[in-house]
A and B are shown apart, each in its own frame.
Chain A
């Protein structure tokens, strides 16, 4: 599979060499020293030491070259090298390695000892060609379906756990996608997501349009050997943004595992400085039974949450054109665990941001968020 992938990319590059190729290059350097506090679940994880604070530092170098063969044809890559120092023994909040939407392992770990891990990987590598009537993309790509700000039930390719504050981008999915333009605001997209074994391939289709000042879409597919149908909408409710999204998952071999997942959200710009949003999620894939929480799938990044009902509120306030504070909270409505998050971001220079923030988790024994360690972090991001 890897050889075929590289051959395709090589073929594309070599046949395009006669074109006038231009290179765009950008990226960033990101560092986030974090201090995790000993969680209430310390005994559960066997943390018998006397440590109360577990330091971690993640340094990420992200390179984003784009080779433009023409206005309508390009190869885009995002490569990352990162160095992780972690004395945090609980692996709940950092996911690395190949995901379940990737066929090729383009991830290499070249050092892993003494609390240090150094690795690099290709997160995105795709060829895109735009025709008058369609665009096709082949390779590891971001497929952004869904309209939710925190949860996206229809995003079956690259979801991010909202509790993972150091993750800035969605993981790429190995796929071939074709989007057909029906009108300026109507398109139809087909996706085939490759896996290592052909029988594990995932397939999806989405129809998107704009109707009566609402963006609406309907999707269907075959993901993880289940039939999925769903859709979303987003528009204005008076001057507020209103969005809703949902899927129904059907497994013909195991009807008991069928579920519905849906979100409903509102957001509003109250003043020129203050923005707020509220979002509710019904996660039919989850459970209200604390002993039944599926943390294995959560750790692998296959799901975002393990519980049934959630609500979150988030806000931003610009206290100065260069300084924004954010604050929010998330609650698992069934077990009443959750977290508070707060932070401040300062734009020191045009290309350099500094942030200070924290997440404080609350919950009783075996509640979903009881397992998570609270943390404070400082991050710097330099763009070039």
Chain B
């Protein structure tokens, strides 16, 4: 019988059983072995103000910074410090990583090392021409003296931070079978977790861990059964790709990853049941890949709604007692609060227009209305294929207790008939109308505290909040925005072109920078020196 656990590789290195102890050991090792310029994995536990050392900025996925130099009072004086032009025709969709004054920026087949003070290019690495999907890229990861890039043909490349010279390249999954990767890997001690994409073919969902120094595979977690495995719980579904970067709780030693939609995508009848673990949040042991718990945000998805969106980790009193929480604004239009130790659902509330479920089950999962499954004559469904939100990162502001989410109120018509087949997309859907809105969700109740219209269709920008009470994002019309987190009022804007990544911030030489991607250019703003 298939069980959704990992398959340890023969050469897997077992980590110390007690997470806390292993940290202590590792910190000691790091101090002894790494030069001052190298990026210790421990930096990710306590990111310094001069860094944004991982895709989400830290392990919590809150996209929140303690920096306070730029405030609601002075943000109007924010001005351009530098700009870096990728000279690509494709818009920037990746979020940079910054450590030791070096900024790493990615695009498909490309990684740039840039002086974070000036925007000057240090080196550029270009991956050889290949046939993978070049649709976009999320970002890089950095550890020790290596920086990592995933590729359109589902490979993982380790480059020397100093020179950009490749140290090694290993396959993540078989591109010929329909996998590609846009993933920003996640460093957890001596593990490098790497995900892939692939819902144009019926292939199982794969998350892999590699030895960050050698590229040796450590374990693989399958969200749906690998070929040749008797199926027990997916109901015949493949898919569930883990294409977004997860978050991590070092105390529980659990990594949280959202899984993708099932395949075939729109053909539901051929894969009856819930199709676990697609459209889910899974909690894994990063040392073994073992599944601790799973929560399925969308049972039996038939609309391309993955649950890959960022699982945001917050410690707070909830329902009268202290809890380790996990928040997710999911692509299906619902906001979930879970206990991240157990996976227990604590709250489910819609945050965007959603008409596909008539009720919330006792387990907190929306119950799909079968009448909204794609049908021969078409069904009017919200949200659309792009979802109530998508990969664009939300931000949690602890001072106001809000999760800021770039939401979309959207409608589409969904079709499926047997003639569409049972491979890959297997259906047809057509967008009708979409409207982008930034929403501030009260995480205690799911209530919308305020909404800020994004001037058009679905937005593409993620959100960054800072401890000074600012929220940075972009609208659908091509403006970078600074809003007051408390009420969503616009305090600053700049017409950069559409912001397609998540703003980040760091402080160098006493100066706070805020970075936005606008079209194919990366812009760094700061107060005038």
The answer on A and B forming one complex is no
User: Chain A interface (Cβ within 8 Å of chain B)?
Assistant: none
